[in-house]
Amino acid sequence: MIGKARCPNCPGCVLSVGAVTAQSNGRPGMDRADVIVVGAGYAGLSAARALRRSGVDVLVLEASARIGGRVHTERIEGGWAIDLGAQSISQGHTAFAALAQECGAKTFTPPTAGRSVLLEGTTHRTFKGQHPPLPPLVLAVLAQAMWRLERLAARIDTERPWAAPGADRFDAMTAATWLRRNLPERRARNLAEVMIGEELSVDVGSVSMLALLTAIRASGGVESGTAAESVLELFVEGADAPALAIAEELGEDLRLDSPVTSIQRLADGVLVGGAFGAVRGERVIVAVPPTLAGRIDYDPPLPAARDHLTQRVPMGSVLKVFAVYERPFWRDLGRTGQAFNLSGPIPVIFDASRPGGPGCLGALIPGRAAHRLAELPAATRRSTVLAEFARAFGRVALAPIDWREKAWAEDPYCRGGYNAYFPPGVLTSVGHALRTPVGPIHWAGSETATEWSGYIEGAIRSGDRAAAEVLGGLSITAGA
């Protein structure tokens, strides 16, 4: 079923055939729906799906020409998938796993046979398993810090992190400050910074320590929340497969190329507007990250705390790159395709080859490094990254047959990724406005999730939660 809905080059687009025109949805006069959903990422799509299954008439408005939000699958020659955005499903991602299974989306675990690479300054070492070959002292202090993080995170209620013991103190410092104090050993700290950067898509010097603890708690602990985790799975046909299945279900109730620029609260509902026109609804679920939600013009204006939340929770930055090779040549050399670099511009390299497909090495560059690399000319950026791939896996890596990249801050309808982040002082001042509905306006999006926030799993759960909120309060009679 999913296969049928795809176009081989740009699968998101096929949906626009039936959905792009702002027609009246079968009703006379002004467009209307019981519930309008803003954004067709996993949060918005999940909310729409849940509402529809409860008989509610729903309309999803997506700004861009594709669905998926921060999930963005491209096809390379041979039709193989490349995930330029969020890509994985892992232990604890129960909602995503159930959705994937229901949609028949196949997953696979990248092979872990072989040795991984650790780069540090000019040294190059290989190692087996998940733990880089650092001196016992370094590993010991790292283990101790992780134990401390675990213990601090365990005290947090992710519904109200601002009420945790020591919340004010932890929210008044950056994660970098905590790490400097608790990991004075430089190499251990570097490794921790790399892992946190990869997880949060922001430098440790930008994010609140309370927000880091909340993120750890929301992903079930330090170990299960780190990129080094081994039980991670990727999607054979790309991480957007389940999203495409929901979109197909929605049919004409999903409209692409429809950026929402205004939300007006009426006596008996909402009026959601943009260049596409205006749609009336009883409720609206805004399923985009806080900073993008803040760019919508609200009439009447939002309460101050909610407005300040949108001002104060910016997007992280990530540059995601893939080099494609005839075959996964590193496997012949006994390598996993995974590399860590504690001092270079590319902190982590990973194997994203599909089973039976060409070789594919990927890298995520978060934070300031992403901005710096994105500002380089394309050829310089490519050669900079490939030089690092070659340092890890040999000169063969210098000559890929294809190259794909996405600087998420440049996506006009994401403007960053993969997560939004909480700078110091935000959770304890306006954090309570993150999920609180404003009249008929409800908020979804991975950032609003209390479990697995920042993951596709969190997005799905947030959509389900917003749908439940709406169903609980809706006065409309279910059904068109």
**What is the binding site for a second copy (CB under 8 A)?**
168, 171-174, 176-177, 202-207, 261, 291, 294-295, 297, 301, 304-305, 307-308, 311-312, 314-315, 317, 367-368, 371, 374-375, 407, 409-410, 412, 415-416, 423-426, 428-430
> What is the separation of C-alpha 44 from the centre of its chain, rounded to a whole number of angstroms?
14
- DSSP E strands, 211-334: 233-235, 254-255, 260-266, 269-274, 277-286, 297-299, 318-325
CB of 256 to a second copy, least distance (A): 18
Residue whose CB is less far from a second copy, 132 or 431 = 431
CB of 19 to a second copy, least distance (A): 23
CB of 353 to a second copy, least distance (A): 29
Q: How far apart are CA 242 and CA 101, in angstroms?
A: 9
Q: How far apart are CA 280 and CA 154, in angstroms?
A: 44
CB of 247 to a second copy, least distance (A): 24
Residue whose CB is less far from a second copy, 158 or 174 = 174
**SS3 of residue 116 by DSSP:** strand
Residue whose CB is less far from a second copy, 107 or 291 = 291
CB of 9 to a second copy, least distance (A): 24
Query: Is-contact 413 292, C-beta < 8 A?
Result: yes
* Pairing mode, strands 254-255 and 115-120: unpaired
Residue whose CB is less far from a second copy, 273 or 458 = 273
CB of 329 to a second copy, least distance (A): 33
Q: How far apart are CA 233 and CA 89, in angstroms?
A: 5
Q: Which residues contact 268 (CB under 8 A, 6 or more apart)?
A: 282
Residue whose CB is less far from a second copy, 281 or 367 = 367
Q: How far apart are CA 253 and CA 80, in angstroms?
A: 29
Residue whose CB is less far from a second copy, 200 or 218 = 200
Residue whose CB is less far from a second copy, 176 or 250 = 176
- The type of residue at 376 is L
Q: Write out the two tokens for 255.
A: 């409209």
> What is the separation of C-alpha 114 from the centre of its chain, rounded to a whole number of angstroms?
29
CB of 409 to a second copy, least distance (A): 4
